[in-house]
Structure 1
Amino acid sequence: MPRRSDCPISYILDLVGDKWSLLILRDLMFFGKNTYSGLLASDEKMATNILSNRLERLEQDQLITKQPDEKDKRKKVYSLTQAGIDMMPVLLEMIVWSTKYEPETNTHPEFAERAKNDRENLVRDMRAMLESK
């Protein structure tokens, strides 16, 4: 996809600026969902055609990879690439902002507190977990 401009914010919006892509990254990153059916079962009730389209785009943009499931070769397992994992600080900042301005979000209080006050160690721990998969 050609870039609209050389602006770094425009670039990231071209990759994940739609309504659903960040939610897929969220589910892969924070909730351990890694299958089509797992991602489809998210609270936001994404339509199947949209999920398929976004997974394909995220894979083309090299934010995720798709591999056959070791137990059932008909199924695919999705995982974050290094570029996808590197989106973690962006998503964490969104969580911190959301919990500040909408305290009724369903973020676990200890996680939100750690994202706010112990971000460096949280990112290190989460990276280690994601990179070991």
Structure 2
Amino acid sequence: MLTSKNPIDFRCSCAITSSLDILGDRWILVIIKQMLIEDVETFKDFLESPEAIATNVLTKRLKLLEEIGLITKSRRPGNNKTNYYHLTKEGLELTPVIVDLAIWSHDNLRTLNPTIGDYEELEHIKSNKAAYCQKLIKNYQEKLTPQ
């Protein structure tokens, strides 16, 4: 459960609307997807991604994600210049949302965006979404564990 201070003005008491007050921003889930799937973890990594998020927008979204407890910011020992961003347990719990959005987009948006990639593994992912989500989470957590 997120327990940080509340920087969000929630519109109402509806759970779906409340989640959209945070996740409905056009960049929030992109940032989480990049961290989870694309191994993006520094400000520079985000800026170099094909999504082309503006510097000021990225700064605000990373700060918000940290304030509400979906990501953490840290520095690696011996590197005092670079901030590293990582998903928290609550951030990782968005994995099924990311996977479901990918499947929905693949199945329904191709006519609107014909450049959407055709991922061969998507049928396998659809057949066992839970296992795929667990694999993504495990891979992410292993990446953060010092060897």
**TM superposition shift of 1:21:** 0.7
Match of 1:106 in 2: 117
Q: Which has the higher relative contact order, 1 or 2, with Cα contacts under 8 A spaced 6 or more apart?
A: 2
Shift of 1:34: 0.6
What corresponds to 2:26 in structure 1?
19
Aligned-pair CA distance for 1:119: 0.9
Asked which structure has the greater CA Rg, the reply is 2
User: Which residue identity lines up with residue 118 of structure 1 in the other structure?
Assistant: N
Choose the corresponding residue for 2:100, options 93, 102, 121.
93
CA RMSD of aligned residues (A): 1.4
How far apart are the structure 1 equivalents of 2:81 and 2:13?
A: 40
**Mapped partners of 1:10, 1:32: distance in 2:** 29
After superposition, the Cα gap between the structure-2 partners of 1:97 and 1:23, relative to the gap in structure 1 and judged at 3 Å, is: same
Residue of structure 1 equivalent to 2:132: 122
Partners of 1:107 and 1:129 lie apart in 2 by 23
- 1:59 is matched with 66
Structure 1, unaligned stretches of length 5 or more? Answer: none
Cα drift, residue 16 of structure 1? 1.6
Q: Which moved more, 1:100-109 or 1:50-59?
A: 100-109
**Aligned equivalent of 2:3:** none
Q: Percent of pairs identical after alignment?
A: 28
User: CA shift at 1:107, angstroms?
Assistant: 5.6
1:47 Cα deviation from its structure 2 partner? 0.5
Aligned counterparts of 1:71 and 1:39: Cα–Cα separation in 2: 22
Residue 71 of structure 1 and its aligned partner are, at CA, apart by 4.3
Task: Identify the structure with the greater helix proportion.
Answer: 1
| In 1: Cα distance, 2:89 partner to 2:37 partner | 15
Q: For residue 41 of structure 2, what is the aligned residue in structure 1?
A: 34
Amino acid at match of 2:55: T
- Secondary structure of the 1:109 match is coil
| Deviation of the 1:109 alpha carbon | 2.3
In 1: Cα distance, 2:118 partner to 2:37 partner: 11
Q: Under a length normalisation based on structure 1, what TM-score does the superposition of the two structures give?
A: 0.91
